[in-house]
Chain A
Amino acid sequence: MCGGIAVRNAAVFSPCPDASVLFDPVLDKETVLNGKAGEIVIAYAIRRVLMLIPVLIGMSIITFSIVHAIPGSPAQAILGDRANPEAVKQLNESMGLNDPLYVQYFRYLGNVLQGDLGTSYKTGRPILDEIGPYLAATVELAVMAMIIAVFFGVNLGILSAWRQNSAIDYTSMVIALIGVSMPIFWLGLLEQWVFAQELGWLPSNGRIDPRMTFESITHFYFIDALIQGDFYALQDAFNHIWLPAIALGTIPMAIIARMTRSSMLEVMRSDYIRTARAKGVGEVLIVYKHALKNAFIPILTVFGLQMGLLLGGAVLTETIFSWPGIGRYLYDAIVSRDYPVIQSGILVIATIFVLINLIVDLLYAYVDPRIQYGKE
């Protein structure tokens, strides 16, 4: 059901990113004129954030169950394959892993509610302290990948739609098809081979040259480099991010290109585009002003979903390029049966995913004024 977003007077693409929203449109002209529109949007946002709670509780139950269904015990993983069974049992006992599952779950939930994401079995450090740098690395990579994906995706899509059924169109769509179908690990390896190995233009892995004396404050290397005015480090960070960002951005780029093309094709046939032409608007302005803003809702939806996926960590890309991101962090946690890290890591990712989609939902109203947020 799609009641949270009310579309008036027009059959526009109606995105439905969150099925749990059930509101009626009540934002009328008086409300807008009285300046209450802003309050309504804020109220809507607060309600959506509150609705995060059941989503996250459900999420935590699922991950908790799955994690505990994985064969093998953390104690076994910590002590090694040839450990004394008595020692394994004892360690399990001391970590509380022999308690009934529901006891373990509520203990975990209680801790999370108090802001304690638990302690890593492997490192013995609080996850809350540990996860920051990994998250920052992933955000940096995901944002860069998304910039590439949106820039090339939107423009390829526009080009295809503008010259439908031409050589440009076919070429763009073949590129998009290859982009969707190419396995990321293969593309990553190919990039490393060509640009790092053969041409030697770019480094093949890591976030920054390890020989560099670089102090990280925010864990976002680009921001750090800018704050400290270290342009050499900035340049180096850029060099390191290109290859993984391209590998990671390829699939979203292809999806965005195809979505932009079909959305633009529909919009370019509409009456208001003809009106714009009749006014004497030039072709570039027609495409980038009059058509693109109308075509943007579906693109925004794809953007939100893909951004959520990328932030969820790209295990393959991060592994291939030795990128110390959240995907790698989780992968290592799974390998070493680090239950608290897996659970809390997934919880953090799920929260980010839902928040990004909330932001996208709120952005719809800026793109299309016909979309309005109602109250219950």
Chain B
Amino acid sequence: MANTLLEISELKMHFHTDKGVVKAVDGVDITVREGEIVGLVGESGCGKSVTSLSVMGLVPQPPGKIAGGSIKFNGKELTTLSAKELQKLRGNEMAMIFQEPMTSLNPVFTIGNQMVEAIRLHKKEVSKQEARALALEALKSVGIARDGVLDEYPHQLSGGMRQRVMIAMAMVCNPKLLIADEPTTALDVTIQAQILDLMRKLNKETNTAILMITHDLGVVAELCERVIVMYAGQVVEEADVRTLFKNPKHPYTAGLLKSIPQLDQRRKRLYSIPGNVPNPRNMPKGCRFAPRCEFAMEVCREKEPELSPIEKNHISRCWLHSEQKEEADRDIVGNTASSS
């Protein structure tokens, strides 16, 4: 098995706002190995973007604050690195692409200017001419073959082209890790498929690990080897992609899978998970999914389940599959008995 590249353990990223502390990420563990494509799935607001921005050191602090845990990247602890050292890693050893290709490129500089900047920030010895050549090569590898593109401005390109430029710019320094934060959400379906193909191709060619953040399970099925499901600032399930789609253990994952429209099933209405995501300022006491869960038991509303292994390479945060359930049940019964 390949070496571990990124190891996030017990990460807590809290935001201190006027209305109280928002625990956007509350004890998240994620591992990404070299050359691997990992999907990070969850609804909007579950903390997946904040997790990835924390890795990049792009969460504005304040209001954000790392309240605990660690992020180890390539053997380096990122949470204690200085801003300058993090800056050296960003765009160099780890890179990120974003959801909005239309607004993610600076409108007043040419593509060439922005790409050359990305190269020369980290490779000072490269001359401008060499950097332009490298940039052109990177653009060709993402399928933009036109020569003049370096002298064009972002508004002269389509959304799909801009996302290709973003990917080329992210890959130009051969990063070990590429974090892709919903890179296909803003694109139409045919372009989505092209971008996913491109990412898979780059992953094969350069062995760059990809952490794919998405709420689209179709994208996950298409691209990822392993999937991590997040809910309300926590990881609730993790498995390889086949296992997860075939045999989801956490009711939330099962709910997500059920809410994908299927062509061969004639259902009147598409399934949707009842209820809403909990308010991060006021999390439920036990399992965070319990209020929306059709299998919720007494223990679920009282005690938070641990993330525990179910079988090899499959972990879940649910009392249904936890070996510690009986113990927890006993505790609750004992508590109610002693208190009454």
Q: Do A and B come from one complex?
A: yes
Which A residues have a C-beta under 8 Å from some C-beta of B?
8-10, 12, 29, 33, 270-272, 274-282, 290, 293-294, 367-370
Residues of B within 8 A of A282 (CB): 87
Nearest residue (CB) in A for B157 is A9
B108 and A294 within 8 A (CB): yes
Is A271 within 8 A of B88, CB to CB? no
A29 to B158, CA, bound (A): 13
Complexed CA–CA distance, A178 and B103 (Å): 37
| Of A8, A279, A370, most B-chain CB atoms within 10 Å | A279
B98: Cβ under 8 A from any A Cβ: yes
Starting from the known contacts A275-B105, A368-B107, 12 additional A-B residue pairs (CB-CB under 8 Å) come to A33-B148, A271-B98, A277-B90, A278-B90, A279-B95, A279-B118, A280-B87, A280-B88, A280-B122, A367-B108, A369-B153, A370-B153
* B117/A370 in contact, CB under 8 A: no
Q: B108 is contacted by which of A9, A29, A33, A369 (Cβ under 8 Å)?
A: A369
Given contacts A33-B148, A369-B155, whether A274 and B108 have CB atoms under 8 Å apart is: no
A278 to B121, CA, bound (A): 12
Check A8–B155 contact: CB distance below 8 A. yes
Q: Which of B114-172 contact A (CB under 8 A)?
A: 117-118, 121-122, 148, 153, 155-156, 166, 169-170
Shortest beta-carbon contacts, A-B, top 9: A280-B91, A279-B91, A280-B90, A271-B103, A272-B106, A9-B155, A278-B96, A369-B153, A271-B104
CA distance A271 to B58 in the complex (A): 12
The number of residue pairs between A and B whose CB atoms lie closer than 8 Å in the complex comes to: 76
B305 CB to closest chain A CB (Å) equals 35
Please report the total number of B residues contacting A with Cβ < 8 Å. Answer: 31
Given contacts A279-B118, A280-B121, A281-B121, contact A274 B98 (CB under 8 A): yes
Indicate if B89 sits at the interface (CB-CB under 8 A).
Answer: yes
- Bound form: Cα–Cα A367–B107 in Å: 10
Residue picked from A12, A367, A369, A370, most chain B C-beta under 10 Å: A369
Q: Which of B82-96 contact A (CB under 8 A)?
A: 87-92, 95-96
Alpha-carbon separation in the docked complex, A370 to B122 (Å): 29
Bound CA span A270–B102, Å: 11
Q: A8-B155, A274-B98, A282-B87 are in contact. Are A290 and B106 (CB under 8 A)?
A: yes
Q: Does B100 contact A (CB under 8 A)?
A: yes
CB of B56 closer than 8 Å to a CB of A:
yes
Question: How far apart are the CA atoms of A316 and B135 in the complex, in Å?
Answer: 56
Bound CA–CA A195/B91 (angstroms): 52
- How far is A133 from B104 in the complex, measured between Cα atoms in Å? 51
Residues of B within 8 A of A33 (CB): 148
Contact A10 B56 (CB under 8 A): no
Q: List 8 A-B contacts (CB under 8 A).
A: A271-B103, A272-B103, A272-B106, A278-B96, A281-B117, A293-B108, A293-B109, A294-B108
In the complex with contacts A369-B108, A369-B153, A370-B155, A278-B103 CB distance below 8 A: no
